Amino acid sequence: MKNLVFVLTVFAFSTAIFAQEIIDNEIKKDKKDEVQTLFGAVNSHGGYGGFGLRVGQLNGANTVWNGGQGGWIINHAITLGGAGYGFVGESFTQPGTTDSYFMTGGFGGLLIEPIILPKFPVHISIPIIIGAGGVSLQEDQYMNNFQDRMMMRNNSFFVVSPGAEIEFNVIKFMRISAGAYYRYTTDINLTYSDGTQVATKTFLNGLSYGITFKFGAF
């Protein structure tokens, strides 16, 4: 996992540098004799905030992740900011019992989002979230026709979530992106009260698909 995180982090910064170089080359075609730097001069500032949802398999069931993200846009080419997403899973029963449970959780952290050819009406963005999160197991209890939910177990984890999006410039201050994302987490150990595993230790790892609405100065 440590090697994977290192590789993905290097990939994130390499992609950001590559995207910035594309923009710098377009802006500075007549300044080829000047000394070039990794990120170049900051010629423009912007920012956005937005919300989105992602859908994917979680412990065998389709699950919706809701959340938001935003940050500072540098030279139209890269966003540095934050993002967070959370979920409430479907109810399920422990094998061999009638006990009902469900899981909740979420994650958040640093958002690095290179944007390739951002001035085109349709372009590519590569959001990468590096952070941490938590997941909890809760039990549904019914007493006298009232439902009570009691948290049984919880666990924290480190996460890296890279993605690839097709982004549309809808109007000047609004963009919509649709993409695919993957979650890599450290091992998660959730158990029932009798000590048996609720799911595999990598059950949060997986592919999801989503849509994001972004509003700001791009």
pLDDT tens for residues 35-84? Answer: 555 556 677 889 999 999 999 999 888 999 999 999 999 999 999 999 99
pLDDT tens for residues 129-185? Answer: 999 999 999 887 655 455 556 667 899 999 999 999 999 999 999 999 999 999 999
Is the distance from CB of 79 to CB of 71 less than 8 angstroms?
Answer: yes
pLDDT at 103 over 80: yes
The one-letter amino acid at 128:
I
* Residue of higher predicted confidence among 5 and 164: 164
Q: How many CB atoms lie within 10 A of CB 78?
A: 24
Q: Calculate the CA 187 to chain-centre distance.
A: 18
pLDDT in the model for residue 40: 61
List of domains in the chain: 2-217 (2.40.160.20)
pLDDT in the model for residue 99: 85
CA pair distance 163, 52, nearest whole angstrom: 14
